[in-house]
A and B are shown apart, each in its own frame.
Chain A
Amino acid sequence: MFIALRDLRFARGRFALLGTVVALLTLMVVMLSGLTAGLGAAGVSALQRLPADHLAFQRPTGQSPTFTGSSLPAGAAAKAGAVPGVESARPLGTGAAKLAWAAGGERHGSRSESVSVFGAGPGSDLAPRPTADGRIQINRTFADDTGLRVGQRVALGGRTVTVDAIEDTGSFAHLPVVFTSLTTWQQVTRAQQPTVLALRLASPAAAARVDAAAGTRTLTLAKSYGAVDGYSAEQTSLNLMRGLLLIVSALVVGAYFTVWTVQRAHDLAVVRAMGASRGYLLRDALAQAVVVLVVGGAAGTAVAFGAGSLAARAAPYQVSAGTVLLPFALMTVVGLVGSMVTVRRVASVDPLTALGAAR
C-alpha cells in the first residue's frame, strides 16, 4: 500500500471522481435491491407467513399453475389429507375484492381500497386467528393507513362484514391481505372451490402422491411465488437491472484502472528495476482498488440506507442486511473483478523500459 496510498492522496481529484462514480452505482444497486425485495414482499409476504411448506394447485392445462387460474377439485382436501406423509392439508381461497367503508372526520363520505382476500376454513391455522363468517382480519399497515379499527363495519366485495382483528397478515399480489372464513370468501369472490391446499408434508416425496390422489399440481412454497400473477416477470426485470448495473460497475472500474495503469507504466517499470517483485506491484494495485471501492461503496451505501429508510415509509421498499450490506459486498467484489483486468498489465511491466535506451 506504500505507493497506493500516496497515489490516492496525490491524485485525490481523479480518485474522488472514480469514488463518486462507485458511490452512485452502489447507491443505485442498493436502492434497486431494496425495491426488488420490497416489491417481492408485497407480492408474496402473505404466502411466506403461511404455516405450510407446499401448496397444491388445480392441475393446470398449461405449463404452470397460477393462483388466478386455480380452483381445486371437489374433495381435494380430504383426498390429500388421507395421503401418507401429509401432516396437514388445509384449503385456502385467494382472490381480490374492494373493501369500502364510511370515512369519518371533517369530510364525511365513503372510501374504498382494493385488498386481497384469503379464505381459511374453520379450525384452520392459516389465518393469524380463527376465522368466522362475516368477520375479517385486516392487515396492520393497512389499518394504520386507513384508520380502520376493530368492530368497524365495512363492505367487502359488496357484502357487509365486521373487522374482527388487526394482524400482520402480509401482502399478496401487491395488495394487503384480509383473512375471512372460506364461506365468506366464496360469497365475496363468487368462487365455488378453494384456490389451493396449504400442505405440511413429512417429506417432499409425498407431493407426488398428493397430486396423484387429489388431481393437483404441488409446488414448494417458494416455487409457488411464481404462480402469483406478474411476480416472476417483475423480479426477473428488477434482477436483470441489478445485474446490468453490476456489469457496468465492473466495466467502469476496469476501464479506469486500465487507463491509470497505462499512464503509470513507466513508474511501475522503475519500481520493478529497483527490485520490486511482481507480487509487490500487484498487491499495491489491488489495494488501491479496494480502498476506492470500499470508500466509494460505503458512501453510496450510507446514502442508499438513508434514502431507503425514507422510501420504506411510503413504498414497497425493504431495508435489511440482505438489501444493504449484501449489494455493497457484491459491488466491491465485482469492482475488484473489474480491476483485475489490470493485473496482466501490471504483471507484464518490463523493468528494462526504465532505462533510457529501451524507451
Chain B
Amino acid sequence: MSLELESVTLGYPDGERRRIILDGMDLAVAGGELVAVTGPSGSGKSTLLAVAGTLTPPESGRVVVGGVDAGSLRGGAAARLRRERVGFVFQQANLLGSLTARDQLLLAAHIGGRRVRAADRARAEELLGRVGLAGKEGRRPHQLSGGERQRVGVARALMSRPAVLLVDEPTSALDRERGADVMALLAEVVREQGVAGVVVTHDLENASVADRVVALRDGRLTSPVRSAR
C-alpha cells in the first residue's frame, strides 16, 4: 500500500474537554486508487489529510507514506518526506500570485534545494498539457479561471512524482460542471501516475468518480459508502 493509517488517534483541546477528531482510524490506499472521504463540516476530513501528509503527527497509531513510517517524523524530516512523496491539492488551488503556471510546478522541484533543470521544465510542460493547460504555461493565477487554477494545483501536486496525492475539497470554489471536470481529472491522473489518492469532499456526487467512497463519522471511517466501481 502507498498510504496506510493504522489505529490513528488525534484530539484537540476544546475548552476544558478534549475533542477526539480521529479515533483509532484505519485507512489503506493502494497506488493508482482514489479514495473519497466524505463527511459533514468539522468531522475531521482535513485533519485526516494533515496526518496523512505529515503536517500533524498523530498522538498514537501508525502512518506509512510511500513505504516510510512517517508517524514519528518532525520538522525537516517531515518536510523532506512531503517534498519527495506527498502531493497536496488545496482548496481554491492556493497558487502563489507572483508565479506563472509553469513556475508553480518548477517551485515544487526547486524547494528540494537544487537548480531547476531542463528535465524539470519538460515535466512541467508535460503535466500542464496533461491537465489541459497547454499554451497557458506563462499565465499567472489572476489570468486563469477557477477551474484552470485548480488544474494547475493538480499538476503542481504531481510534479515531484509523489507516492500519495492528498486533495482537500477541490471543488468547493467551483461550479458543478467545473467541479465535476476537476474530479474526473483527479481520478484519471491518479490511475495514470499510479499514486495513492485521497480526496476529501462533502459533495457525494463529485465523490462518485472515486474507486471507494468512505465517510468520516465520530473519528472513524465507516464501511464504504460505495466500494470499487
Q: Residues of A at under 8 Å CB distance from B?
A: 2-3, 6-7, 9-11, 266-267, 270-278, 280, 351-352, 354-358
Inter-chain CA distance A271–B122, complex, in Å, is 22
- Listed A/B pairs (13) with beta-carbon separation below 8 Å: A2-B103, A2-B111, A6-B98, A10-B97, A10-B140, A266-B94, A267-B96, A271-B107, A275-B111, A277-B80, A354-B90, A355-B90, A357-B45
Inter-chain CA distance A244–B86, complex, in Å, is 50
Say which one of B46-54, B179-187, B207-215 lies at the interface with A.
Answer: B46-54
Inter-chain CA distance A280–B94, complex, in Å, is 19
B96 touches A356 (CB 8 A): no
B56 an interface residue at 8 Å Cβ cutoff? Answer: yes
A356 touches B97 (CB 8 A): no
Which of A275, A278, A351 has most chain B Cβ within 10 Å? A275
Nearest-neighbor residue (CB-CB) of A359 within chain B: B91
B108 an interface residue at 8 Å Cβ cutoff? Answer: yes
| Total cross-chain contacts (CB, 8 A) | 93
A349 CB to closest chain B CB (Å) equals 12
A residues in contact with B99, CB < 8 Å: 3, 6
On whether A275 and B86 interact (CB within 8 A), knowing A10-B97, A355-B55, the answer reads yes
B56 touches A352 (CB 8 A): yes
B172 an interface residue at 8 Å Cβ cutoff? Answer: yes
Inter-chain CA distance A355–B53, complex, in Å, is 11
Name the interface residues of B80-124: CB closer than 8 Å to any CB of A: 80-84, 86, 88, 90-91, 94, 96-99, 103, 106-108, 110-113, 116
On whether A275 and B94 interact (CB within 8 A), knowing A355-B49, A355-B55, the answer reads no
A270 touches B110 (CB 8 A): no
A272 touches B79 (CB 8 A): yes
Nearest-neighbor residue (CB-CB) of B80 within chain A: A275
On whether A271 and B82 interact (CB within 8 A), knowing A277-B76, A354-B88, A356-B46, the answer reads no
B169 an interface residue at 8 Å Cβ cutoff? Answer: yes
Inter-chain CA distance A271–B95, complex, in Å, is 9
A residues in contact with B106, CB < 8 Å: 2
A7 touches B98 (CB 8 A): yes
B168 an interface residue at 8 Å Cβ cutoff? Answer: yes
B107 CB to closest chain A CB (Å) equals 6
B46 touches A273 (CB 8 A): no
A residues in contact with B107, CB < 8 Å: 2-3, 271, 274
A residues in contact with B80, CB < 8 Å: 275, 277
B residues in contact with A352, CB < 8 Å: 50, 55-56
B residues in contact with A273, CB < 8 Å: 53, 55, 82, 88, 90
A residues in contact with B169, CB < 8 Å: 356
Inter-chain CA distance A357–B50, complex, in Å, is 10
Inter-chain CA distance A6–B110, complex, in Å, is 13
Inter-chain CA distance A170–B47, complex, in Å, is 77
Which of B49, B94, B113 has most chain A Cβ within 10 Å? B94
A6 touches B86 (CB 8 A): no
On whether A271 and B88 interact (CB within 8 A), knowing A6-B103, A10-B140, A358-B50, the answer reads no
> A275 is contacted by which of B83, B168, B172 (Cβ under 8 Å)?
B83
A356 CB to closest chain B CB (Å) equals 4
B residues in contact with A10, CB < 8 Å: 97-98, 140
A277 touches B103 (CB 8 A): no
Interface string of B25-59 (1 = CB under 8 A from A): 00000000000000000100111011001011000
A232 CB to closest chain B CB (Å) equals 51
Which 3 interchain pairs have the tightest Cβ spacing? Answer: A275-B83, A357-B46, A10-B98
A276 touches B96 (CB 8 A): no
Inter-chain CA distance A358–B53, complex, in Å, is 14
A residues in contact with B79, CB < 8 Å: 272, 275-277, 351
Inter-chain CA distance A308–B50, complex, in Å, is 59
Known A9-B98, A270-B96, A352-B55; 18 more pairs at CB < 8 Å: A3-B98, A6-B98, A6-B99, A11-B98, A266-B94, A267-B94, A270-B94, A271-B96, A273-B90, A274-B82, A274-B111, A277-B76, A355-B46, A355-B49, A355-B90, A356-B46, A357-B42, A358-B50
Inter-chain CA distance A355–B56, complex, in Å, is 11
A275 touches B84 (CB 8 A): yes
B residues in contact with A11, CB < 8 Å: 98
Nearest-neighbor residue (CB-CB) of B162 within chain A: A275
A356 touches B90 (CB 8 A): yes
Which of A2, A10, A267, A357 has most chain B Cβ within 10 Å? A357
Nearest-neighbor residue (CB-CB) of A5 within chain B: B98
Nearest-neighbor residue (CB-CB) of B156 within chain A: A274
B residues in contact with A9, CB < 8 Å: 98
B residues in contact with A274, CB < 8 Å: 82-83, 88, 107-108, 111, 156
